[in-house]
């Protein structure tokens, strides 16, 4: 038996690496083509952002600012979280402002808004305003200026309209009203909002970042300088689920969405391959009849592929190490 095991691992050690690459590729492609419903467990860092936005629901004196600080290279991780936040705001009647600091981010910002608003009756200048691209050299005067008066710090929006003349600005003046900034970036852009907007005006700041940046941001979460954080594609998948389970959930009992609950999020299934949300109560499964749009499940489908690929790589690492030590033992006999 030992001889057969050693022979097996000898073959594994000599396996053409092209087969390994092929297997890893298939482990990514198959879950994307044939998605399945793997569990999505939400974390406190993501839940805090959801609850903060939801606290503004239906209040015309509160708004959220979304800052787009990235280009297309980080779009796979950041775009799903941007669309999810926009959906949440549109569902719960929360006013939104968007801004970007590089020309490359401007079309991505427009694309996120257009993707999210397709199923909603929202109007630019009333429910949301896109400030558009502003040169990065103006970041500091704009960030500090919005603490006093948004319409003075930013004169016109992306369509060339005077900010002060828009309906949305009637009850929104500064960070006292626009009291949440979420910066989406693949770097440290959110920390500039912490340094200036939070330190001087006390504005709540959250970050949507790529997975490789997560460790750098944890100290700011621990000190409370960030109220929450989307941790790469996993964070986007978590927020997609929460929007479907809570904000998009409408019944006679909850016409404006279900209140956030840790217990509910544990018991609700949001299938990938089915077209509606499934809710489990007292062990009984209910189909809510609430439709799920494929374009709003991008992060969850991506996490399926990522999970399978990671498991595949871990299996190869374990087999490789076992084979290495068995081969060394055989050679030393």
Tens digits of per-residue pLDDT, 192-204?
999 999 999 999 9
Please check whether residue 88 lies inside any domain of the structure: yes
Domain boundary, last residue among 197, 232, 267: 232
The per-residue pLDDT for 5 is 77
pLDDT at 14 over 60: yes
pLDDT (mean) for 117-141: 94
Per the prediction, the chain carries an average pLDDT of: 89
Distance between CA atoms of 304 and 282, rounded to whole angstroms? 28
Please check whether residue 241 lies inside any domain of the structure: no
Q: Are residues 117 and 227 in the same domain?
A: yes
**Residues 322, 15 contacting (CB under 8 angstroms):** no
* pLDDT single digits (tens) 139-181: 999 999 999 999 999 999 999 999 999 999 999 999 999 999 9
Q: Are residues 213 and 81 in the same domain?
A: yes
* Residue 254: alpha-carbon gap to chain centroid: 25
Please check whether residue 315 lies inside any domain of the structure: yes
Domain boundary, last residue among 185, 217, 232: 232
* Residue 194: alpha-carbon gap to chain centroid: 19
Q: Are residues 23 and 62 in the same domain?
A: no
pLDDT band at 97 (very low <50, low <70, confident <90, very high): very high
Query: Which pTM value belongs to this model?
Result: 0.88
Q: Are residues 61 and 173 in the same domain?
A: yes
Q: Are residues 17 and 101 in the same domain?
A: no
Domain that holds residue 140: 44-232
pLDDT (mean) for 64-81: 95
pLDDT band at 103 (very low <50, low <70, confident <90, very high): very high
Please check whether residue 14 lies inside any domain of the structure: yes
Number of domains in the chain: 2
Q: Are residues 217 and 303 in the same domain?
A: no
Distance between CA atoms of 333 and 331, rounded to whole angstroms? 6
Please check whether residue 202 lies inside any domain of the structure: yes
Q: Are residues 22 and 169 in the same domain?
A: no
List Cβ neighbours of 1 (8 Å cut-off, separation of 6 or more).
Answer: none
Please check whether residue 186 lies inside any domain of the structure: yes
Task: Look at the alpha carbons of 286, 290, 291, 294 in this order and tell me if their dihedral is positive or negative.
Answer: negative
Please check whether residue 259 lies inside any domain of the structure: no
CATH number assigned to the domain comprising residue 70: 3.40.50
Q: Are residues 212 and 149 in the same domain?
A: yes
Q: Are residues 48 and 31 in the same domain?
A: no
Q: Which two tokens stand for residue 228?
A: 């929450």
pLDDT band at 282 (very low <50, low <70, confident <90, very high): low
Domain boundary, last residue among 209, 232, 255: 232
pLDDT (mean) for 224-242: 95
Q: Which two tokens stand for residue 281?
A: 């109560």
Q: Are residues 321 and 183 in the same domain?
A: no
């Amino acid at each position: 038996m030992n001889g057969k095991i050693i022979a097996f691992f000898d073959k594994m050690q000599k396996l053409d690496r092209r087969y390994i690459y092929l297997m890893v590729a298939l482990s990514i492609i198959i879950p994307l083509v044939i998605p399945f419903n793997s569990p999505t467990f939400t974390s406190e860092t993501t839940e805090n952002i959801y609850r903060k936005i939801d606290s503004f629901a239906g209040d015309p004196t509160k708004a959220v600012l979304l800052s787009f600080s990235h280009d297309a290279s980080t779009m796979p991780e950041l775009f799903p979280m941007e669309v999810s936040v926009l959906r949440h705001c549109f569902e719960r009647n929360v006013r939104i402002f968007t801004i970007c600091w590089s020309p490359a981010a401007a079309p991505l910002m427009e694309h996120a808004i257009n993707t999210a608003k397709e199923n909603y009756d929202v109007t630019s200048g009333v429910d949301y305003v896109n400030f558009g691209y502003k040169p990065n050299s103006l970041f500091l005067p704009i960030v500090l200026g919005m603490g006093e008066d948004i319409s003075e710090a930013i004169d016109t929006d992306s369509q060339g309209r005077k900010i002060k003349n828009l309906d949305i600005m009637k009850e929104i003046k500064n960070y006292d009203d626009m009291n949440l900034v979420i910066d989406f970036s693949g770097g440290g852009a959110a920390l500039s909002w912490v340094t200036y907007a939070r330190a001087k005006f006390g504005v709540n700041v959250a970050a949507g970042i790529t997975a490789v940046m997560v460790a750098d941001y944890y100290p700011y979460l621990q000190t409370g300088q960030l109220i929450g954080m989307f941790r790469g594609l996993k964070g986007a998948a978590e927020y997609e689920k929460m929007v479907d389970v809570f904000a998009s959930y409408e019944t006679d009992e909850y016409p404006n969405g279900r209140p956030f609950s840790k217990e509910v999020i544990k018991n609700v299934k949001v299938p990938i391959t089915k077209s509606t949300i499934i809710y489990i109560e007292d062990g009984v499964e209910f189909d809510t009849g609430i439709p799920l749009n494929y374009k709003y499940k991008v992060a969850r489908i991506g996490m399926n592929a990522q999970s399978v690929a990671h498991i595949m790589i871990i299996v190869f690492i374990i087999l490789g190490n076992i084979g290495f030590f068995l081969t060394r033992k055989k050679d030393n006999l």
